[in-house]
Chains A and B, each alone.
Chain A
Amino acid sequence: MTHTLHRRGTRESLSEDYVMLCLPAVGVNDEGHAPKLKKFLEIAVRYDPVNIGTIKLGNMYSHSKEEVVKEAQAVVHAVFVKQEQVTDVLKDLEKADLGMSVVVSGIFEKVDECIEKAGLKHHTANFSLGIWGKTEKLPPDEILEVATMCGHAMISANLIRSMVDEIKAGRKTPDEAAKVLAPNCACGVFNPARAAKLMAAMAAK
């Protein structure tokens, strides 16, 4: 379940990509967890996330934000494009004292700053050592930068190519194309704002 770890991209592009997760530990503190995850999403929504989701239902591109918040359970996600948003959410979560585990994915040094500004401490880290094995089978890096934003691999390389073609042909804007991809990532960890920029750059080549 490392669905937000292996996101690929340049430092500049990843600087606009932060995913926050909130979840209970099964068998330890999961009793009555749903209202706490709902509270997490209510806090996240105050800071204008580009996506929110809950695995059992879907994300804000397949359902309304209100529906996603209402159906929060098991594990919930929120995606932001600025460090300041992450810091503010962490500060509010610290005050809310939900007792649920919270994980932040993003460039280490930038997330470190958010953690420190929020007065929290680093607990445990997960480092990606990249892709091993028969890497010659992989699609080009520019496709992977979009595809790896859905860590469960539900967004196909061919759908990304197809959307880039749509942008090139003038049939879709980059934002519209990103919104075609987003619903397929049920968890809601996909960053449509970043995807739109990446696909616009591909289409411009």
Chain B
Amino acid sequence: MKIDPELCIACEACLPYCPMAAISMKDDVAAIDEDECVDCAVCLKSGVCPVDAFIFEPAPWPRSVRSTFSDPRTEHKETKIAGRGTEEMKTNDVTGRFQRGWVGMGCEFGRPCIGTRFRDVDKVAQVLAKHGVEFEPKNPVTFLMEDPKAGKIREDVLNEKVLSGIIECLYPIEKFEEIMNALKEVSKEIDTVFSVEVINRADPDGSYPLRKMLDKMGIPYYINGKQNVGLGRPVANV
């Protein structure tokens, strides 16, 4: 994203809109720090600029990943899903992706409010790979891995900054404690934040075995969350 300095009238109205705080005043006009900009297009699409000074031209690879990972209105070519992740548990009643006895896990890098470079995503993905997780093949971050078995993200995107990128993976519930410990350790080595989520299929009585494990292990979790209520058809055998 760029600002045309010839058009900018220095009203400063756009400055607070940038989620990465990448817009500032330079030489009496608003300017974008292109290295910090994630091409989310919030500034442009907000319509805040009274003189239409924002210019967005699709970037070549590897910078093109910034827009696809940062603007949820952009559909990923590979997954055909807008946003940064997949349908995950939202359609589990139909897809059967998360079976009983398994844990789905997501690590959402850069969120909230900070953004991430792929080098931090890479660091955590490689640790998770060593513990035998299965990366979700339809997840956009998995598409960036040159070796999904090792969790290694391709070199040319490591310095690209995005609003957020999600690692999605699956593992047997027996590995939960081991994975949590590994994640805790590697989280000390990265330069951004990440939000962690875990997915679990309900037992026939409506309870969630993973919730019992979280309570037993003393792992804190939010009082709020997401529940699929099983209205999708055809019903998956899950």
Using a CB–CB cutoff of 8 Å, the interface residues on chain A facing chain B are: 1-8, 11, 14, 17, 21, 23-26, 28-29, 55-56, 74-75, 90, 93-94, 97-109, 111-112, 115, 118, 120-135, 137-139, 143-144, 147-148, 151-159, 161-162, 183-184, 186-187
Interface size on B, residues (CB 8 A): 80
Cα distance A111–B105 in the bound complex, in angstroms: 22
Are A125 and B193 interface neighbours, CB within 8 A? no
Q: In the complex, which residues 198-238 of chain B have their Cβ closer than 8 Å to any Cβ of chain A?
A: 198-202, 206, 208, 210-211, 214, 219-234
Find chain B residues with CB under 8 A from A187 CB: 72
Are A108 and B228 interface neighbours, CB within 8 A? no
Cα distance A43–B234 in the bound complex, in angstroms: 22
- Name the distance in Å between A154's Cβ and chain B's nearest Cβ: 5
Find chain A residues with CB under 8 A from B220 CB: 129-130
Find chain A residues with CB under 8 A from B130 CB: none
- Name the distance in Å between B78's Cβ and chain A's nearest Cβ: 12
Find chain B residues with CB under 8 A from A103 CB: 89-90, 226-229
Are B225 and A152 interface neighbours, CB within 8 A? no
Other than the known A105-B225, A127-B214, what 8 A-B pairs have Cβ atoms closer than 8 Å?
Answer: A115-B227, A123-B229, A125-B211, A129-B221, A132-B195, A133-B187, A133-B190, A154-B72
Instruction: Determine, out of B12-20, B27-35, B53-61, B146-154, the stretch whose residues face the partner at the interface.
Output: B12-20
- Name the distance in Å between B126's Cβ and chain A's nearest Cβ: 16
Q: Which residue of B lies closest to A18 (CB)?
A: B224
Are B193 and A132 interface neighbours, CB within 8 A? yes
Cα distance A127–B187 in the bound complex, in angstroms: 19
Cα distance A121–B184 in the bound complex, in angstroms: 34
Query: Is B82 interfacial (CB 8 A cutoff)?
Result: yes
Find chain A residues with CB under 8 A from B228 CB: 101-103, 123-125
A-B contacts, 30 of them at CB < 8 A, read A1-B81, A7-B222, A23-B90, A25-B87, A75-B90, A99-B231, A103-B89, A103-B90, A105-B225, A120-B230, A123-B229, A124-B228, A125-B200, A125-B210, A126-B89, A127-B200, A128-B221, A129-B197, A130-B195, A131-B194, A133-B192, A137-B114, A137-B192, A147-B113, A153-B111, A153-B164, A156-B17, A156-B20, A158-B16, A184-B42
Given contacts A14-B224, A25-B91, A107-B223, contact A102 B231 (CB under 8 A): yes
Using a CB–CB cutoff of 8 Å, the interface residues on chain B facing chain A are: 15-21, 40, 42, 45-46, 72-73, 79-95, 98, 106-108, 110-114, 120, 163-164, 166, 183-184, 187, 190-202, 206, 208, 210-211, 214, 219-234
Are B194 and A125 interface neighbours, CB within 8 A? no
- Name the distance in Å between B180's Cβ and chain A's nearest Cβ: 8
Across the interface, B197 reaches (CB within 8 A) one of A93, A99, A100, A127, namely A127
